[in-house]
Structure 1
Amino acid sequence: MSGTEPYECIVVGAGVEGSATAYYLAKSGCRTLLLEQFPLPHSRGSSHGQSRITRKAYGDYDHFTLMMKEAFPMWETLEKESGLTIYKQTGMLAMGLPDHSFMSGTRRCLKKHNIPYEEIDAKEMHRKYPMVSFPENFKFIIDFSGGILRADKALQAYHSQFKRYGGAVHDGEPVTNIYPGDVITVRTTKAEYKTKKLVLAVGAWASKILPNLGLNLPLQVVRISVLYWREKHPGEYSAAKFPVFYQENGCGKYSVYGLPSEEYPGLVKICLHWGPEVDPDLRDKADDKWVTETMCKYVSDYFPGLVPMPAVSESCMYTWVPGENFFLDCHPVWKNIVIGAGFSGHGFKLAPVVGKVLGELAMERNLSYDMTPFKIDRFSPKHKL
């Protein structure tokens, strides 16, 4: 639909956050258009690939833990509606020195929210998981809720159900201009659309699009090397034997995360939770050799059952914001423009709730959560309005 009749809402960005938002809006009876600059499916953003880690415990980020309690049943609902399996439980292993802030925060969070877990020492760790070799003075916490989200299936489910509820998807259609007002005009390379509400969930391109709307937010785009390591003994690190894991400061100031051999036969996914800063349109030019070198040493030190050279290397992008709390808020001047940005590499698991909240903002409904941590003005940015 183009021309004079406006949509009730347009969502720009068909990654997981935008797709979850569009799904929520359409399911709520809102006539919605979902715009995506690349032909779907694609691997140029932050939501592609086959797997993501999920868990309930979020350390000292209590607001995220509360959201995760709702996200789990929302993923289950999406599975039932779509007939696709999205979540696979493996447990999530946190590791580090006992007094490390991440470990103590995880422990407090699990206890506070009555999330089933187990804490073990290095000896018990070796008994349970002899395929890894971490320092003897480490402690290990297993959050039994943790596991794998099948990212590609999640996106497929959101898109199919969005269409089922009457939504329209226009992919391969980049937005070229946005003209705010009581009725917003969105111009693309193919058409011009009118809408009463606009949601921008544009991932790494927020750093390019938002300044055109007078918003200069502290967003940093980094290229993540998604590395897969071959098992020396096939099946040793399978999802039936080994959990997903996260080690804060696993490589100096950088964290490390990993998933068992589930996506590719015989390959374990272990990645650095950081990378070189990039322009999202030029990310393939980034020099990330230091990331691979860092991870080769990490795998060699702690995973004796893996070949310490990556067998497969892929990439995605994080849009990082200081403190890692997202932006989920209305534009400070044009309240009918809603912004979701800065998901900092950990937004996928929260997507059902993020989509609900962005949808509530767009539809001017009562909000399900205290949005103080996600306000745009918390950094007191200078707006050129």
Structure 2
Amino acid sequence: MNSDYNYDVIVVGAGIEGSATSYQLAKKGKSTLLLEQFPIPHNRGSSHGQTRITRKAYGVYKHYAIMMEEAYNSWNLLEKETNTTLYHETGMLCTGPRDNTFINGTIEFSKTNGIPVEVTNQNDIGNKYPRMTFPTNYVFVLDTCAGILLADKGLRAFQDIFRQNGGILKDNEALTNIIPGSVITVQTTKGQYTCKSIILTVGPWAKQLLPTLGIHIPLKPIRINVCYWKEKNPGEYGLGKFPTFYESEAIDGKYSVYGLPSMEYPGYVKMCLGWGPDVDPNDRDFVNDQWVISKIKKYVADHFPNLHSEPSIVEPCIYTMVPDEDFVLDKHPKWSNIIIGVGFSGHGFKLGPVVGKVLAELALGETPSYDISPCRLNRFTFQSKM
């Protein structure tokens, strides 16, 4: 190792994006330190929980749909590397009115790119999935290769392979300062390290950290209530009987709803509103979110009559939103060895392996494998003050 620095790369934040990035770097033979402010495992950020939806039909974000083929392959590779099941194919049912942008975008992209989907109506879908009710003018699109990622297991799998390839993971050690330069100094609550490049995958804490580096972008951490609803007839919504589910602009023309079959807690279906109140990630648990519960309760009562209309379990998660809901994947405008990966807006988990590949490439001065122009910092109006 070069005596001028301790590590080739330091990655800050051991959620899915940081862990997948560190995995990529270690497999490339780069000396890598992965720092996490909380003891692992923890539930304070955005990557915890047992399940996430994955899909190839991506609607309006075509640049991410292009990445999904490699994402699927990468998750499959990780399963083989760890001898662990990380994916269950369930299909994903997307629904909405005939003029819905997400529905039409999904159909168009799927046809153009050969993604297997089935497009049908309320009568046909009612025969296949009789446990839900929707207006007769709704269109239903079933992405047959979509399914469920086992989130906690996937996160741990990336971290395990990272360490097996020589990576160093230090948890319960918070970042306190970054001193830029050709060699970067990283100060934490427990020590000081130096590196050639640093990658910041710090989730909702990016809103507090990036301004200290002169980066002012419109990040908006929000609290998501992950709700579980008891089945009236146990087993009706289980694996093999019900797909994952998504309705864009389902409530008030702006709030989306997503759901997963009964799996995490036997007899309880995961059904959530994809929005919530603004939140400070350090003070996540004390916010006024009763309006979220009220809206999702009415939605469940209206459309899923075989579920009890009061959630039995509610668990918090945090999305870090940006206005266009595109990711932020870029180099610092002044310090090209500071790499930023933030703002995944609630849809970044399934793309973690590809995001990790791209962030590793940026840190190593390589050309990204994908067009990330929609994810660049220059789409925001700001000036770096460093």
2:269 pairs with 1:268: yes
* Aligned-partner Cα distance in 2 for 1:339–1:14: 14
1:339 maps to what in 2? Answer: 340
* Aligned-partner Cα distance in 1 for 2:334–2:258: 39
Identity of aligned residues (%): 55
2:365 maps to what in 1? Answer: 364
Q: Using the TM superposition, give the Cα deviation of residue 59 of structure 1 relative to its aligned residue in structure 2, in angstroms.
A: 1.1
* Aligned-partner Cα distance in 1 for 2:335–2:221: 25
* Aligned-partner Cα distance in 1 for 2:145–2:213: 40
1:296 maps to what in 2? Answer: 297
CA contact (8 A) 2:9 2:196 kept: yes
Matched residue type, 1:363: L
* Aligned-partner Cα distance in 2 for 1:136–1:229: 25
Give the number of equivalent residue pairs. Answer: 384
2:176 pairs with 1:167: no
1:151 maps to what in 2? Answer: 151
* Aligned-partner Cα distance in 1 for 2:365–2:93: 39
| TM, length-normalised to structure 2 | 0.98
Q: Using the TM superposition, give the Cα deviation of residue 133 of structure 1 relative to its aligned residue in structure 2, in angstroms.
A: 0.8
* Aligned-partner Cα distance in 1 for 2:291–2:60: 30
The two structures, once aligned, show a CA RMSD in angstroms of 1.1
* Aligned-partner Cα distance in 2 for 1:131–1:371: 40
2:350 maps to what in 1? Answer: 349
Q: Using the TM superposition, give the Cα deviation of residue 223 of structure 1 relative to its aligned residue in structure 2, in angstroms.
A: 0.3
1:326 maps to what in 2? Answer: 327
1:251 maps to what in 2? Answer: 251
2:21 maps to what in 1? Answer: 21
Relative to structure 2, which stretch is displaced further, 307-316 or 56-65? Answer: 56-65
Q: Using the TM superposition, give the Cα deviation of residue 311 of structure 1 relative to its aligned residue in structure 2, in angstroms.
A: 0.5
2:83 pairs with 1:83: yes
* Aligned-partner Cα distance in 2 for 1:5–1:341: 26
* Aligned-partner Cα distance in 2 for 1:330–1:51: 31
2:383 maps to what in 1? Answer: 382
Matched residue type, 1:329: D
CA contact (8 A) 2:5 2:183 kept: no
Relative to structure 2, which stretch is displaced further, 352-361 or 79-88? Answer: 79-88
CA contact (8 A) 2:5 2:196 kept: no
1:176 maps to what in 2? Answer: 176
1:12 maps to what in 2? Answer: 12
Matched residue type, 1:235: G
Gaps of 5+ in 2: none
Gaps of 5+ in 1: none
Moved over 6 A (4+): none
| TM, length-normalised to structure 1 | 0.98
* Aligned-partner Cα distance in 2 for 1:384–1:275: 32
Q: Using the TM superposition, give the Cα deviation of residue 69 of structure 1 relative to its aligned residue in structure 2, in angstroms.
A: 1.2
2:241 pairs with 1:241: yes
Q: Using the TM superposition, give the Cα deviation of residue 4 of structure 1 relative to its aligned residue in structure 2, in angstroms.
A: 6.2
Is the partner of 1:351 in helix, strand or coil?
helix
* Aligned-partner Cα distance in 1 for 2:116–2:308: 33
Residue by residue over 1:147-173, the C-alpha shift from the partner in whole angstroms, topping out at 9 and shown as x without a partner, is 101000101100100001110000000
Q: Using the TM superposition, give the Cα deviation of residue 301 of structure 1 relative to its aligned residue in structure 2, in angstroms.
A: 0.3
Is the partner of 2:285 in helix, strand or coil?
helix
* Aligned-partner Cα distance in 1 for 2:303–2:62: 31
Q: 1:5 to 1:60 in 2, by over 3 A?
A: closer
* Aligned-partner Cα distance in 2 for 1:200–1:16: 12
* Aligned-partner Cα distance in 1 for 2:5–2:30: 14
Is the partner of 1:358 in helix, strand or coil?
helix
Matched residue type, 1:355: G
Is the partner of 1:233 in helix, strand or coil?
coil
